[in-house]
Amino acid sequence: MSDQADRPQPRRASQPSAGTDIRVGLVGYGTAGAYFHAPLIHATPGLSLAAVVTRNPDRRAEVAAAYGAAAVDDVQDLWGRCDLVVVASPNRTHVATAAAALTEGLPVVVDKPLARTAEEGRGLVRLAEERGLLLTVFQNRRWDGDFRTVRRLAGEGLLGRVLRFESRFERWRPVPKGGWRESGGPDEVGGLLYDLGSHLVDQALQLLGPVRAVYCESDVRREGVEADDDTFIALTHASGARSHLWASSMAARLGPRFRVLGSAAGFVKYGMDVQEERLRAGMTPDAPGFGDDPEERWGELGTEGERRVVRTEAGAYLDFYREVAATLRDGGPPPVDPASAVEALAVIEAARLSASQGIVVHLG
């Protein structure tokens, strides 16, 4: 994994004075912008949603009513209006939009995936380093309550040595929803491998470290869909541990969200983290209990002979933007090192190659 201590630290936001909010310009107000970024930015002390790029009349009215933010037509209209740019537009636009903002001297948050390829991602990292600007990636699933629980159990040695990490983002959506994520070809950077796979791979890397071998099966199961909607990834980590990862829209019966097997115990957890469903329902992310998992969905730790229920750690998406604000105000490392997102992209590229050729791809 990358060592942040050897990397230039992002410079602080220079425009806002003490006691003044950091003005945020949000590019895109689709699912990611409307349900994740805008509410989280609005709820973060020290940040203010100043402008949103969207031409949709209904969305323009919504950002004005909900956040008092200006609606603008183009990314170029953000320059001078904001101190931080958040890129939540379609995946194919991430690199160009982030590069434009960095070139304008603005720090950037990019929704996952950072780029289409690891090389494109490395180019953005270099540009940010050259300009001394913050570049970070919204890998919000690191702050899922269930994944925080897995990391705590592993860190405390309660699992022993982790041997296998099983992780699933499964849904039952036999009828396509439409849109570029499902119908777009490779140029759209769509499909579950890039969408949910970006989270699955990132979590595996965070838990178990570098990957040495990748095998992938990736299929299109539904009519009218062009991008993968049923994908399995097997990773062999440098430590010898293995990750088995599933992303599917065709899971009529859902498997456990996590099954983690260690030399001393295993952990099994069903049900998705609650934060997304609560954001979609309009709950504010700073509300009491926002990230709390219902008790009936807590996981179990132990062996076949002895098991105990483990309370799920509270989900904490808001911590991502709190750390962004702290980085810009006080300096220090970003909440997500973009080099770690590049590492995940290298694994995703290897998975695409594996699926297309039916081979195991070995990484350096």
* Same-domain check for residues 292 and 157: yes
Task: Retrieve residue 146's tokens.
Answer: 């269930």
* Residue 309: inside a domain: yes
* Same-domain check for residues 80 and 158: no
* Same-domain check for residues 198 and 128: no
Provide DSSP, 60-97: HHHHHHHH-PEEESSGGGGTTT-SEEEE-S-GGGHHHH
What confidence score (pLDDT) does residue 185 get?
Answer: 64
Cβ within 8 Å of residue 336, ≥6 positions away: 136, 137, 138, 139, 142, 320
Q: Which amino acid is at 342?
A: V
CATH number of domain containing 323: 3.40.50.720
pLDDT in tens, 233-247: 999 999 999 999 999
| Mean pLDDT on 345-357 | 97
* Same-domain check for residues 121 and 233: no
- Is residue 10 scored above 70 in pLDDT? no
* Same-domain check for residues 131 and 264: no
The pTM score is: 0.92
Task: Retrieve residue 305's tokens.
Answer: 């002979």
* Residue 152: inside a domain: yes
* Residue 355: inside a domain: yes
The count of other CB atoms within 10 Å of the CB of residue 9 is 14
* Same-domain check for residues 134 and 146: no
Length of the chain: 364
Tokens 């349900």, located at residue: 35
* Same-domain check for residues 248 and 328: no
Q: In what order do the strands lie in the sheet with 84-87?
A: 70-72, 47-53, 22-27, 84-87, 108-111, 135-138
* Residue 353: inside a domain: yes
Rounded distance, CA 65 to CA 59, Å? 10
Q: If DSSP codes are grouped into helix, strand and coil, which group holds residue 92?
A: helix
* Residue 209: inside a domain: yes
Name the β-bridge partners of 232. 217, 246
pLDDT in tens, 313-324: 999 999 999 999
The count of other CB atoms within 10 Å of the CB of residue 286 is 13
With a pLDDT cut of 90, the percent of the chain lying above it is 88
pLDDT in tens, 90-133: 999 999 999 999 999 999 999 999 999 999 999 999 999 999 99
- As for how many domains the chain has, the answer is 2
* Same-domain check for residues 252 and 134: no
* Same-domain check for residues 155 and 281: yes
* Residue 72: inside a domain: yes
* Same-domain check for residues 219 and 193: yes
pLDDT in tens, 123-167: 999 999 999 999 999 999 999 999 999 999 999 999 999 999 999
Q: Which residues span the domain enclosing 195?
A: 141-316+348-362
* Same-domain check for residues 309 and 329: no
Task: Retrieve residue 296's tokens.
Answer: 């009936």
* Same-domain check for residues 39 and 166: no
Provide DSSP, 112-152: SPS-SSHHHHHHHHHHHHHHT--EEEE-GGGG-HHHHHHHH
Tokens 């991502």, located at residue: 320
CATH number of domain containing 217: 3.30.360.10
* Residue 343: inside a domain: no
* Residue 151: inside a domain: yes
